[in-house]
Each structure stands twice: as structure tokens, then as C-alpha cells.
Amino acid sequence: MFLFKILLLFLIFINSNFLLSVDERLNNIRFSDNHLNKSFRVVLDLTHKAAYTVFSLNNNPRLVVDIETKSNIKKFQNDSAFIKSIRTSIADQNVMRIVFDLKSKFYIDKHFYLKKNENNIFRLVIDLRKKENLNIQKKNIKPKSKTKFIVTIDAGHGGIDPGAINLGKKEKNITLKAAKELRMMLKNKGFKVFLTRNDDTFISLRQRRNIAKKNKSDLFISLHVDSLKKKTTRGTSIYTLSEKASDRITAKLAERENKVDLIAGVNLQDVDNEVASILLDLNRRDTKNSSSLFAESYVNITRKNGHRLLRGPHRHAGFAVLKSTDIPSVLIELGFLSNVSDVKLLTKKKSRTRLLTSLAEAIELFAKKRSNSN
């Protein structure tokens, strides 16, 4: 181990990019096996929160991690009984590919970053589980009663964060009312529904995502009401996550919606970095497609039902609340508090529920498509 450390120091030292690399190193890879559960954990110790992609391959079972790092270490110690060997290569200028040859087929159960530890080290955790008799399990599961489609509805803002305010109306109150009404509609359709908040309390954007995850949601819908200086702009619109905003107005909107955590003193560090690394993720790509499909369906149905839509109603930007890697997530602006007609539409129960009925219709269609493809 001591020799290894010396070698490590030496390798870092001879690296001509020393000054560049010193801040962005992969220091170590650690393993912990769980023989009972036939699972194991890989932990990458990093000096930075690196963008990464992780996937597994079934023939010649392998786990592949592409990670943005300037590290020069090529050999890592293999302490896992489930791994045959570890290989590294430089895939791109600053991207290291690490291939773990596995002794049998494993699937990636989950992967995530742990917060910086006391030594300022970020830990990327990848949990793997052995693939066994998946077909038999599936057969056993199928005849059981069909599991319900789970929706988490997120009423935007709340508590000390009122959201947009205009004409004496607060965004946080409209979104809560709408969320409760939508919950009722979806329950009547036989869905399982959760709300991120049930009353006027502040919840951070990360907490909202965590609630959706905890509830094993199939879909996450964040409800908002926008406000602009231009009083004539009106209509509903829907947003999905992307690193680059579709347009300047949407970029500003994402900025406004992301800022709410600052109001309550939540640390928003690295939000942009996180969005970048999440989008690199393969799981996320699938989720992103599903989110977009839902958004398109919302646009089609609201248009068909005669609701007013914002021009270019499906847009995208780096909304923090939409960052779940495995839950299709959308943010809906029901309308504009800055527009008198929209305020009327959203504060009168009858017209508000008409719009929500269209949203419920889009959710139902999405759920149907999902269950057909499974």
C-alpha cells in the first residue's frame, strides 16, 4: 500500500498537467461485497464532482464507468470477489474509461454522489446486484394484481416563498388548490397520488424530488403559475429538463424557479454541474424521452380541448426540481398571474378544473402507454 502511494504521488508529480490536474483527481476506487445478497458496491473517491456515465454489459459481463477526470492512475486494486479485473483507458481528453470485468452478470441497482466528506472528497457510489432468474421472477410477479400507476404532484412554492404575486393572488395558493383538485381527479381514475405538500409550507426543490422518489413515482408533475412584465402574455406551457435552455425567456424562468431555494437559505451549489452529469447518464436519457413524450401529449390534449397555450408551449431548461434521473418529470406553468384573463381562469374553480381535466387526460394517456410497453 505504501509503495502504491509512492507510485501514485510519483505519477501525479510527473504529470505535466500537474497544475490542472491537482484539483480534479480520482484518488481511489473501493469495493464492498455483500455475499449474502449477491451485491456489491463500488465507490470512487474524487476531489471533484465529476460528470460521469455508468452502464453494464451482459456479454462478457462488464461495468463501464466513463468519468471526467484528469487523473493519471491506471491501476486500481481489486478487492472484490465479484470482479475479475479492472482496466482503464483514456476515452477522451479528460474522460477516463474504467472497465470492471465481472465474474457473472450484474445489473446497476443505483448510482449517486455522497456529499463531500471531511477530507473534501466526493464519493461516487455504484451499487450492483447479481442478475439471476429474472425471467422466473417476472412470471411470478405478472399474474399478481396490476400495480397502480403512481403520480406525485408538486404544488410549486409554499411557506415563506409565495412564488409570483399579482392582483392580490399568490402563486403558492393557486398551485396548492390545483394540486389537490388534480389529486382528486387522478384518484377517481384509479391512480395512486402523492402531493409534495399538503399545506402552506416551504419545501426545497431537492426535497420535492426526494418525495417523488420515496413514493416510487411513475410521473412527477410540478405545478406553477408564471408572471411576466408583459401583461398580454397568457396561456399554459410545459417544461422538461435540459442543460441548455430552449430560449432566453425559458432560461430566465428556470432561473426564477430555481432561485426559490435561495430564499430559504438552501445551498444551490453545483446545480449546473449536476444537471450536466445527470444528462450524461443513460438512464436519464430514457427518462428525458418519456418526459418529452408526456409534454407533447399535454400540449396536444390541451390544444384539442381548446385551452390557450403559450407560443411554443413545450420548452426546456435546467429546472432543479426536474432533475430526478429515473422519474419522468415535467413542470407546468398553468398560466400567467400577470395576465388578467389568466388570473380569472386560474382563480375560478370551474375554469381551473377544466384545464386540470385536460392535464388528467394527458396523465391517463401516458399511464396507458406505459403499461402497454411493459
Q: Which stretch, 115-123, 150-158, 190-198, 334-342, contacts Zn ion (CB under 5 A)?
A: 150-158
Q: Closest residue to Zn ion, Cβ-based?
A: 224
Asked whether position 197 contacts Zn ion by CB under 5 A, the answer is no
Q: Which stretch, 159-167, 246-254, 351-359, 360-368, contacts Zn ion (CB under 5 A)?
A: 159-167
Q: Which stretch, 99-107, 161-169, 271-279, 287-295, contacts Zn ion (CB under 5 A)?
A: 161-169
- Considering only 163, 318, 328, 335, the residue that binds Zn ion (CB under 5 A) is 163
Give me the numbers of helices (H) and strands (E) for the chain, helices first please.
11, 16
Which one, 218 or 333, has the nearer CB to Zn ion? 333
Task: Provide, rounded to whole angstroms, the least separation between the CB of residue 157 and Zn ion.
Answer: 6
Cβ-contact 124, 25 below 8 angstroms: no
Q: State the Cα torsion 184-187-188-190 to the nearest 10°.
A: 170
Cβ-contact 370, 274 below 8 angstroms: no
List Cβ neighbours of 360 (8 Å cut-off, separation of 6 or more). Answer: 182, 185, 186, 189
Task: Provide, rounded to whole angstroms, the least separation between the CB of residue 333 and Zn ion.
Answer: 7
- Distance CA(59)–CA(65), nearest Å, equals 17
Instruction: Give residues 198-227 in contact with Zn ion (rule: CB under 5 A).
Output: 224
- Distance CA(154)–CA(145), nearest Å, equals 28
Instruction: Give residues 230-259 in contact with Zn ion (rule: CB under 5 A).
Output: none
Q: Which stretch, 20-28, 114-122, 157-165, 339-347, contacts Zn ion (CB under 5 A)?
A: 157-165
Task: Provide, rounded to whole angstroms, the least separation between the CB of residue 312 and Zn ion.
Answer: 19
The per-residue b/e assignment along 259-290, b for 16 or more CB within 10 angstroms, e otherwise, is ebbeeeeeebeebeebbebbbbbebbeebbeb
With CB under 5 A as the rule, give the number of residues binding Zn ion.
3
| 38 half-sphere exposure, CB direction, 13 A CA radius | 10
- Considering only 156, 158, 313, 335, the residue that binds Zn ion (CB under 5 A) is 156
- Distance CA(295)–CA(236), nearest Å, equals 12
Task: Provide, rounded to whole angstroms, the least separation between the CB of residue 121 and Zn ion.
Answer: 36
Task: Provide, rounded to whole angstroms, the least separation between the CB of residue 292 and Zn ion.
Answer: 21
Beta bridge partners of 90: 96
List Cβ neighbours of 141 (8 Å cut-off, separation of 6 or more). Answer: none
Which one, 127 or 261, has the nearer CB to Zn ion? 261
Helix (H, G, I), strand (E, B) or coil at 19: helix
Task: Provide, rounded to whole angstroms, the least separation between the CB of residue 163 and Zn ion.
Answer: 4
Task: Provide, rounded to whole angstroms, the least separation between the CB of residue 310 and Zn ion.
Answer: 14
Q: Which stretch, 108-116, 151-159, 242-250, 359-367, contacts Zn ion (CB under 5 A)?
A: 151-159
Site of interaction with Zn ion (CB under 5 A): 156, 163, 224
